[in-house]
Copies of this chain bind each other. A is one copy, B any other.
Amino acid sequence: MLNEAQLIGIEDETGDLTALAGGGVTSACGFLASGISAGIKVGRSDMAMILSERPCVCAGLFTSNKVAAAPVRYDRPLAERGCCRGAVVNVGCANACTGEGGYADACEMGKLAAEAAGVPVEEMLVCSTGTIGRRLPMGRIREGIKLAAAALSRDGGKDAAAAILTTDTVTKQAAVKVRAGGVSVTVGGMCKGSGMICPNLATTLCFITTDALVDREDLKAAAAAAAEKSFNRITVDGDQSTNDTFLVFANGAAGGERLSPGHPDWPVFVRALSAVAGSLSRQIVMDGEGATKFVSVTVEKAASADDALAACRAVANSPLFKAACFGGDPNWGRVISAVGNSGCRVNEADTQIWFDDVCVFDRGRVADEQANKRLAQVMARRAFSVRVALNAGDFEDTVYTSDLSYGYVKINGEYTT
């Protein structure tokens, strides 16, 4: 049994990483950030900026939703070019489904932010999150950009992390230090996301910075690998948003050798990036809309990697399973029913299911009354694991999910009103 801090903290199987408590996007050398109130939301900060003090490479992964928001369409070619130094972010309005006018707003936002930060326009990215189908309040955005640029500072990571939240209840940051390329390299990040969370790319904005020296193509590969096992392995409600964005910036400010797949320290750098992405993604599940539980769903001994992932996702997205988790209802039949729905190769006579250390189904034999009692105890925990062994092959995967509570319904029944 892991406690909450362990579940959402840095995973470090090798002992190479040093977690930096309270660290975030300004932990790495040469990165500035800010979070300010532009008046889009009442009584809270609502715009953030991140900027590298020096030239920088970047990698971006974006929503696969075919209805992509204007900022996503604006950012894609810039991130593909790979030389961005920073990003400006607003909450309260997603600038999605806003037509050509909305796209022009995103362009103006990027241009003004680049000017205010003193960088070329192609080096500044734009992110928006909030309600779909409304135009940005450009008057407030313009003023906010000036305030955000003026407030940029070396310890602004925490302010930025607070300013990007929507229905989130807590800020989400993580950072690690690692020895690589002859120097100490830092990787830190922040994210937001609470509902509309589903692979691929959990519905979220995520910003990671590092002072490692990395070429942009190599950074892209490392970012994709890190996202695949973190943000692509979580779900809150199975809905993917129009605005999902995952950005990694690397500015080389730590000095040291250039890290690349041929360098002996490349794996430890990727591990550091993955650890930060993993922690951030699990923080999103822990803070899922209305969530009262954190559940890891592992499918092992599957006939293929696709089977393992499909079965994980079917369980992790099942409203019936998630409602049972909320109520602590020891109704494990919903796990095997969801696995059966996933399309994976499954034979109930070969299948085993555990909740933490309690075996509830063993190759066609169901749990007795005592096991059901112990199951209810497991499900009363804040966090627990579900493990399904299909005994059909050698493939394994894990997806993290939250429960489905009254809180989720309340939050999403009242969001815009």
Give chain A's interface residues, CB within 8 Å of chain B: 65-68, 94, 96-100, 131-135, 195-196, 237-242, 317-320, 323-324, 326-334, 336-341, 343-346, 348-349, 360-361, 364-367, 376, 404-406, 408-417
CA distance A99 to B65 in the complex (A): 42
Q: Is the interface of A mostly helix, strand, loop or mixed?
A: loop
CA distance A108 to B319 in the complex (A): 34
Question: Among the interface residues A100, A318, A348, A404, which one has the most CB atoms of the partner chain B within 10 A?
Answer: A348
- Known A-B contacts A65-B340, A67-B337, A97-B336; the reply to A330 vs B417 at CB < 8 A is yes
Known: A237-B319, A242-B336. 14 other contacts (CB 8 A): A67-B340, A96-B333, A99-B364, A132-B331, A133-B333, A237-B320, A238-B318, A239-B320, A239-B337, A240-B341, A242-B333, A319-B404, A329-B415, A406-B409
Question: Among the interface residues A133, A134, A360, A406, which one has the most CB atoms of the partner chain B within 10 A?
Answer: A133
- Known A-B contacts A67-B346, A132-B337; the reply to A327 vs B364 at CB < 8 A is no
Q: Give the residues in chain B near A405, CB-CB below 8 Å.
A: 409
CA distance A44 to B327 in the complex (A): 25
Asked if B408 contacts A333 (CB within 8 A), the reply is no
CA distance A242 to B351 in the complex (A): 15
Asked if B333 contacts A97 (CB within 8 A), the reply is yes
Shortest A349–chain B CB gap in Å is 7
Asked if B133 contacts A98 (CB within 8 A), the reply is no
A132's contact among B66, B333, B408, by CB below 8 Å, is which? B333
CA distance A406 to B410 in the complex (A): 8
- Known A-B contacts A409-B405, A413-B327; the reply to A361 vs B133 at CB < 8 A is yes
Shortest A52–chain B CB gap in Å is 32
**Nearest B residue (CB) for A99:** B364
**Nearest B residue (CB) for A323:** B412
Q: Give the residues in chain B near A241, CB-CB below 8 Å.
A: 337
Shortest A333–chain B CB gap in Å is 2
Asked if B65 contacts A133 (CB within 8 A), the reply is no
Asked if B319 contacts A412 (CB within 8 A), the reply is yes
A196's contact among B337, B414, B417, by CB below 8 Å, is which? B337
CA distance A237 to B409 in the complex (A): 14
CA distance A415 to B318 in the complex (A): 15
Pull 16 A–B residue pairs with CB atoms less than 8 Å apart, ordered by A.
A66-B341, A67-B336, A94-B333, A96-B333, A97-B333, A99-B349, A196-B337, A237-B320, A239-B341, A320-B412, A324-B413, A326-B409, A327-B412, A329-B416, A330-B416, A408-B409
Asked if A332 contacts B133 (CB within 8 A), the reply is yes
Q: Give the residues in chain B near A333, CB-CB below 8 Å.
A: 94, 96-97, 131-133, 242
CA distance A410 to B408 in the complex (A): 12
